[in-house]
Structure 1
Amino acid sequence: MMDKELLAAHVEEVLREAGFSTSDRCYLRPRSFDLAARRDDQFLFLKILSNIDGLNERTALEIRRLAKHLLASPILVGEKTRDQYLERGAVYFRYGIPTLSLFTLADCLLEGALPLVYAAHGGLYVRIDGDRMRQIRLARGISLGALATELGVSRRTISKYEVEDMDTSVDVALKLEEIFNEELIEPVDPFQTEAVAEVKGPVTDNILRLLLEIGFEVVPTAQAPFNAITREGKLVVLTGVGKFSQSIIKKARLMSSLSSVARTKSVVIVDGETKLECIEETALIEKRELEDIDETRDFEDLVAEKKSK
């Protein structure tokens, strides 16, 4: 089994070959995700683990929240679950995050070949195009009972395939395609994910509360290389806070790389003084400067001013 660093290097290689621009790898701890990548309007947040069972629910929730607010697709790339290697061409799920092997990721991004199978409790399953199956069955004059007998299932099961889009086993799906001599299996798109239900908690950081008072929506983070996503209308800002230090400089550089891929602004609000206006693409704003701002437009103008110097 590859270690995480080698697996991450292979993931970056696949992404570059597929035409994605990638952020620097997140090296600051704690970290919820490892990499951001974009190809045109396709934006991915990737977590990379050799054994996917290492992802916990808290981290998964943070990745999904970040993806929701930055219009990204969260993806977990791994090699094994328990003692089993991930199947090529199958999508797994960990706390709502689509999970792929390196080879499945490459098939999706390089070949445009979406998986046909997903893993759930009890084994591997596929999705049947129930409406198309029903249309073909009726056009050929095949009764529910006759089809059920040939498949060895109940009439109710056939009805559920057609009306309720009930998923089925790989064996049954392949037998259906053989009976009708038509493609009925629908691919699973791991990049189309359900939004996470979110309960907003209070913003407790004093500096982030200043942004609230100015009129921003503030989404605090717990494990990201920035402290919050700050937004108002089309303005989205990756926001860091802290006293000026070497660690803040490292954070600002990583935030610059992430904001470039995410197509956002990035700002570090310094609790104290700094002689620097900008670190790469990240503007540095002193807390006292923030205290003099009353409107979001003034904040945006200040960020632009810092970056122009």
Structure 2
Amino acid sequence: PIIVGVKSKNHILEEDVVYERHGLPAIGLETLKNMIVYDEYPEILADRGGYYVQINGNVLKEYREEYNLSLKDLADLAHVSRATMYKYENGMVRANTETAMLLEEILNTKITLDIDLFEPYQEDIKLKADTSSLNQTQGTNAQNLAKLGFGVVSTNKSPFDALAKAEIATRKKEQTPLIANLNVQDEQNTKTLKKMAISLKDLSLVTSSDPFFVLKDDKIKDSIDGIPVIKSWEMKEVENSKEFLRLIRERRNN
């Protein structure tokens, strides 16, 4: 799914920039037109703190070596640290637009990657979970997901707490993103849980994702209105993302 609009709550959507809303890409009308009519895709992603682009690490390394520049040499020219340059080459972090433009000027070649929104959208998040907006229980569960091999993004003001996706997915069904409610309180009654399940289910249909709950209470059954329930202790016993996804599928089919 792609959100297309003119403005967000606080500002106009700039063209040729990809925004994110609850884990979904959001773009302006002209950007969509450029993609469909002219096959021109945006490169810039708006995130906390500014605008960023993804560097083509292979091209960056190839041209750096062609110019006989060490990592430190190029890092000094681009006014970043050697460690940051290493991360650029290995696709570990995004670069701000100013640094990317400077690198392209130094190397005299394009090094940024287009964002093809017609392909399954995946934010470039590694195993470290972004838990900045989560409480302690949610943060712990998010970190447990990250340890299993999921990229995790926390969310605010939505029916779910986090968006997760397996970092290494060899099969198509392992590439489906997950939406999770990581902090369901044990004292919440069955009626409340069912209302939450309906919201998650509706959202999962729109976003083509697999929803699940994380609960502490062992008395709760394995699913609530078709939404899988994973116990907190189970997350610590599962060994990897593949096993976790299998558990979700089994609970969903119960």
Q: TM-score, normalised by structure 1?
A: 0.40
1 or 2 for the larger relative contact order (CA 8 Å, sep ≥6)? 1
Greater gyration radius: 1
Q: Which has the higher strand share?
A: 1
